[in-house]
């Protein structure tokens, strides 16, 4: 499925595009409203991630014209505005979903998958490796016959590991996937949440690769 990211902040556009490509999506990027609208009108584009604050053509106008010319393509709006009125206005204008900046990639991915589920496309309902299964619908981890409740950060971190099993992930990769493009958590936050997951799941479920990062072995 081809996804179009319309975002003029290069760092955010690259962050989103890279993460989606790692999940197997084909991703195009446009850095202004006019180029974005032209690209969104191509039939192969199956979903649009749209920033509102765009040069040349505002995101609100892109959204309105998309709803006229391609009414069935899902649009997820990104915005620094997080007021209730802003959300309502954009949803009323035709957005399928609304995500405030800063955001985590895990949450954006969940929104993307939800849009595809709404269109009856096949989306994995859980992730599993070794002794651990993650129920994406109920947002709980299962080890054997035991369910473990997870915080939002624990869920995002575990989902990242389960999408890359047996792969060594660096601190920077884990932060980008589970904390988002604009978050600046403390330097030891990954170690803290790794410790939480080991307690809730199995102590040896995540290996520490000294000087490199962590690997989920299940």
Mean of per-residue pLDDT scores for the chain? 85
When pLDDT is averaged across residues 180-200 and rounded to a whole number, the result is 78
Mapping DSSP onto H, E and C, the string for the chain reads CEEEEECCCHHHHHHHHHHHHHCCCEEEEECCHHHHHHHHCCCCEEEEEEECCCCCCCHHHHHHHHHHHCCCCCEEEEECCCCHHHHHHHHHCCCCEEEECCCCHHHHHHHHHHHHHHCCCCCCCEEEECCEEEECCCCEEEECCEEEECCHHHHHHHHHHHHCCCCEECHHHHHHHHCCCCCCCCCCHHHHHHHHHHHHCCCCCEEEECCCEEEECC
* Residues 132, 142: Cα–Cα separation, whole Å: 6
156 and 99 housed in the same domain: no
12 and 97 housed in the same domain: yes
Residue finishing a domain among 118, 137, 170: 118
33 and 106 housed in the same domain: yes
- What proportion of the chain, given as a percentage, has pLDDT over 90? 43
84 and 161 housed in the same domain: no
100 and 150 housed in the same domain: no
Domain that holds residue 55: 2-118
111 and 159 housed in the same domain: no
12 and 114 housed in the same domain: yes
* Residue 38: CATH number of its domain: 3.40.50.2300
Give the pLDDT confidence score for residue 180 in this predicted structure. 58
99 and 132 housed in the same domain: no
80 and 102 housed in the same domain: yes
Q: What is the pTM of this model?
A: 0.57
119 confidence band (pLDDT: 50, 70, 90): low
pLDDT at 61 over 80: yes
List Cα–Cα distances, 94 to 24, 98, 116, 202, in angstroms.
27, 11, 17, 45
Q: Which residue has the higher pLDDT, 17 or 90?
A: 17
Give the pLDDT confidence score for residue 114 in this predicted structure. 84
* Residue 137: CATH number of its domain: 1.10.10.10
88 and 168 housed in the same domain: no
105 and 137 housed in the same domain: no
Reported as a single tens digit per residue, the pLDDT across 140-172 is 999 988 999 998 788 888 988 998 899 898 888
Residue finishing a domain among 69, 84, 118: 118
Report whether 129 contacts 216 (CB < 8 A). Answer: yes
* Residues 24, 21: Cα–Cα separation, whole Å: 5
When pLDDT is averaged across residues 115-133 and rounded to a whole number, the result is 73
When pLDDT is averaged across residues 186-194 and rounded to a whole number, the result is 84
∠ CA 105-26-181 to the nearest 5 degrees?
Answer: 20
Give the pLDDT confidence score for residue 187 in this predicted structure. 62
How many distinct structural domains can be found in the chain?
2
pLDDT at 89 over 70: yes
186 confidence band (pLDDT: 50, 70, 90): low
Reported as a single tens digit per residue, the pLDDT across 91-101 is 777 888 999 88
105 and 200 housed in the same domain: no
When pLDDT is averaged across residues 196-218 and rounded to a whole number, the result is 93
Residue finishing a domain among 118, 151, 174: 118
Give the pLDDT confidence score for residue 122 in this predicted structure. 43
83 confidence band (pLDDT: 50, 70, 90): low
pLDDT at 11 over 90: yes
pLDDT at 184 over 80: no
């Amino acid at each position: 499925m081809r996804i179009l990211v319309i975002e003029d902040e290069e760092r955010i556009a690259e962050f989103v595009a890279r993460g989606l490509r790692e999940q197997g999506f084909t991703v195009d990027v446009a850095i202004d409203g006019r180029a974005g609208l032209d690209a969104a009108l191509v039939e192969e584009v199956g979903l649009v991630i749209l920033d509102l604050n765009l040069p040349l053509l505002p995101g609100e106008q892109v959204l309105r014209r998309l709803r006229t010319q391609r009414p069935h393509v899902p649009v997820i709006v990104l915005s620094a505005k997080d007021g209730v009125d802003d959300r309502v206005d954009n949803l009323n204008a035709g957005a399928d979903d609304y995500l405030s900046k800063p955001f985590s990639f895990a949450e954006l991915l969940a929104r993307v998958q939800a849009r595809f589920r709404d269109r009856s496309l096949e989306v994995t309902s859980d992730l599993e490796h070794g002794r651990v299964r993650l129920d994406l619908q109920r947002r709980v981890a299962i080890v054997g016959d035991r369910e473990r409740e997870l915080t939002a950060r624990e869920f995002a971190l575990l989902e990242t590991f389960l999408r890359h099993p047996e792969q060594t992930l660096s601190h920077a990769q884990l932060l980008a996937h589970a904390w988002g493009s604009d978050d600046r958590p403390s330097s030891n936050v990954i170690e803290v949440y790794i410790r939480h997951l080991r307690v809730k799941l199995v102590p040896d479920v995540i290996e520490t690769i000294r000087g490199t990062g962590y690997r989920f072995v299940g």
